[in-house]
Structure 1
């Protein structure tokens, strides 16, 4: 009887101790936006109103050099949910035709957090009763515990809320309209009325995002959870504009990253290099868990800072490409491994959704696309591009091959190629059948969108430009 009582008391103490440990663990909330560069008020953009995200940045740590490691949603999401570079887990090709399971030794952050006692949810920004975006390029199923952190029933939670904003097609923020004529100089694009109207629509979508993020943060406050919840806000990759999304320039890779934890982090501005491959590792550290040795990511909250950030680009729909990049925060080297491919090769998705795709072709045909913008219309690309990011943030002045920068170029080239020996050692190429299927799917999508809007897929450039003028309510096309 005495022995049984002792065992009972020990079991009760152990259960109580475990419960107290669980209770003390911080909740962790990822708020993830589609297609977002650091085009927020808190990052210096005066043309957009983002009061909720500005407040979040003021209360937390704002990272100024955060990068996605790929400029397209499905490989990027495959990467930050595993802490692995997409080339290593065969998840680099956007909309992978023949998805493979994750390697046996690789677990998703969701699985690791569940094993540690976390209640894991994934909700849509449209409502906590709806499943959030996944869009991964592997076949391994991720089994979430639900969509709403309120169902955690005392467990610490790891929650994700996924927002479509500012993915195309854009929506107007009717309450705070942004007028194209009020916008300052466009970053990296010509001063053209159609492009300004399109940029204004992008910023309007960001304002809608800000409003919805504010609702999520308010809900956290109302639940009394804000103090012990780590909020991580970031974009899955850069902005949805012509020379940004799908490319390894700053506009395709650089993202906002804000981390708030009232109980554990002092507000600050952090200029260290960060990759989204690090988000999973940082989440594990915040939860008091070990970071698996296989992960490429590292915690950006400890004292070890990254020396380099890497970028990857494979096929995107029917636009076949193979690009890698490396940056030390000051210089970026881009390696075009298919230099014969033009920048403006057919991308059915961009043809259907991006007015700049048609406008660039149209202006170039008239000889009206000036320097440096006409560089993007070249028939081929240099194998290597080298840019000084502080003096040339739009990456127009290619320094590759110049004697003055030979040492810098050689250092970055050597580091990139050596690193890829590891990052690509298990990469498997696509079959011709998969490639044909991918191209046909992209063409069908483009055709469907254009026919919906009253156009033939082969409509002349002038007609499609006029459509975009009408779409944005502009007078002359």
Structure 2
């Protein structure tokens, strides 16, 4: 019996060593998502940016210069890239409705890693909390333990922004942290939780998939006041058009109702829906947005110091954010400034590269699975009957690996509207599903952005291509900031027809 016990211990240790060796072949994954982050980073050439830590990450990574979200709204975008399904498949364009109950039991990105032996943990905002993730951030399907939410996030819309009138619910909100509720801020709490998790995992035999979601620069623009020092107001550059684009269909306009509700912006009495923010306030908002990004950059620098060089790091924004371009603010549109996001991918033992091919956030899931060398790889979805595990994007590994590879890929996004003209109620910016009457389907490559606004059935989730209410066509060769709509120009008719066929084939779900 004594000998049998020794043999058991030897056998057990052998199995343990085998498991350690097996798991050591699997790379850890750090997945960073920043809320409402456009490519307002030094590495993307933003003249108002100061982001040394993210720029340093990019210098050793694959940098995608033209990555796009599938919808410029947090909940739909996050559910889209976490399931690798487009909003029309998920039937989610607002914040209500859980895909597992309403559409299908689709596998998520963290769930797939969990099912392959990874410890998966969510810190901060990865899924959008609420009914669109079953009020649990999709736990326990996606995560090995309950997701962490910073306690101070409950004060997101509290009157904690100091100004000459007292403490109010402002958009521009630099603060002294020691005077804030709980004497902290949400992203500071998330950073500490993520660092603690990483330190605990250093002796674990299991690989990890850690999702860290930072809340800023989501409005309100609340950040430690000292970060304004990196962005003196006299250095803020507004070198873009702040007027409504020529020929823009009314259905395409987003009246940025969210920031109009903030006390400091409401004080300006800006006419709804086309009134303009004064230039001094435009500079002030741009200053605060970039200061909030610098704040997050500092936290990301601390986070990256905790991971080794053998860790895959994926860094994205969930969608962009307008900073006065076209006279618009916030997200809620199909313009490049609302749909384009930063996407940085550090892959161990891969040379840094800059990739200009348009890619999509639905590509993130299959790409990370392939880079982690998990099996099976994610198959393409059958549009008629999608399986629980499939992608409506594509793995970017081939694009990453082959410097000679040239892709003619388009990126596709969409945005819903309740009315043809901008409205406050129902909200043009965030319409509930029951109010959606029109859908703007858009696609972009290096040459063009093309959009069709069509009648949309909110119960069958199908567009009526025979009922167009607006068309947009921008030539990126000479109008990269999308200020002149060429859709009605006779000389562009052939281009429009070609692009229309591609757009409709991509989004025709009746096939």
The alignment's TM-score, normalised by the length of structure 2, stands at 0.66
Alignment of 1:172-183 (within 5 A): 172=223, 173-177=225-229, 178-183=231-236
Instruction: Identify if the C-alpha distance between structure 1 residues 15 and 390 changes in structure 2 by more than 3 Å, giving closer, same or farther.
Output: farther
* Matched-pair contact (CA < 8 Å) for 1:27–1:230: yes
**1:264 Cα offset (Å):** 2.7
Does 1:230 find its partner at 2:316? no
**1:49 Cα offset (Å):** 1.1
Unaligned runs of 5+ in 1: 126-130, 340-380, 426-477
The secondary structure found in structure 2 opposite 1:193 is helix
**Counterpart residue number, 1:253:** 339
Which shows bigger deviation, 22-31 or 105-114?
105-114
Can you list the C-alpha shifts for 1:370-401, whole angstroms capped at 9, x where unaligned?
A: xxxxxxxxxxx961101112321221211113
**Counterpart residue number, 1:317:** 430
Can you list the C-alpha shifts for 1:297-333, whole angstroms capped at 9, x where unaligned?
A: 2112224746111002135434855211012232111
Instruction: Identify if the C-alpha distance between structure 1 residues 119 and 86 changes in structure 2 by more than 3 Å, giving closer, same or farther.
Output: same
Alignment of 1:84-95 (within 5 A): 84-91=85-92, 93-95=93-95
**1:12 Cα offset (Å):** 7.2
Q: 1:288 aligns with which of 351, 369, 373?
A: 373
The secondary structure found in structure 2 opposite 1:336 is strand
* Matched-pair contact (CA < 8 Å) for 1:110–1:142: no
Unaligned runs of 5+ in 2: 149-196, 244-277, 380-389, 400-404, 418-428, 457-467
The secondary structure found in structure 1 opposite 2:286 is helix
**Counterpart residue number, 2:101:** 101
**Counterpart residue number, 2:32:** 31
Distance 1:186 1:171 in 2: 25
**1:14 Cα offset (Å):** 6.5
The alignment's TM-score, normalised by the length of structure 1, stands at 0.70
**Counterpart residue number, 1:119:** 119
Does 1:205 find its partner at 2:206? no
**Counterpart residue number, 1:335:** 452
Can you list the C-alpha shifts for 1:206-242, whole angstroms capped at 9, x where unaligned?
A: 1111111111112x2xxxx421111111100001543
**Counterpart residue number, 2:186:** none
**Counterpart residue number, 2:179:** none
**1:38 Cα offset (Å):** 0.8
Does 1:137 find its partner at 2:254? no
* Matched-pair contact (CA < 8 Å) for 1:167–1:240: no
Alignment of 1:61-460 (within 5 A): 61-91=62-92, 93-96=93-96, 101=101, 103-104=103-104, 106-124=106-124, 134=129, 137-139=132-134, 141-143=138-140, 144-146=143-145, 148-152=197-201, 153-172=204-223, 173-177=225-229, 178-189=231-242, 192-218=279-305, 220=306, 225-239=307-321, 241=323, 242-243=328-329, 245-261=331-347, 263-289=348-374, 290-293=376-379, 294-303=390-399, 305=407, 307-314=409-416, 316-318=429-431, 320=436, 321-337=438-454, 383-422=470-509
Give the length in aligned residue pairs. 371
Distance 1:101 1:417 in 2: 28
Distance 2:127 2:333 in 1: 26
Instruction: Identify if the C-alpha distance between structure 1 residues 332 and 244 changes in structure 2 by more than 3 Å, giving closer, same or farther.
Output: farther
Distance 1:16 1:26 in 2: 17
The Cα RMSD (Å) is 3.2
* Matched-pair contact (CA < 8 Å) for 1:121–1:149: no
Can you list the C-alpha shifts for 1:94-132, whole angstroms capped at 9, x where unaligned?
A: 12268762644521112111111111011128xxxxx98
**1:252 Cα offset (Å):** 0.5
Distance 1:248 1:136 in 2: 25
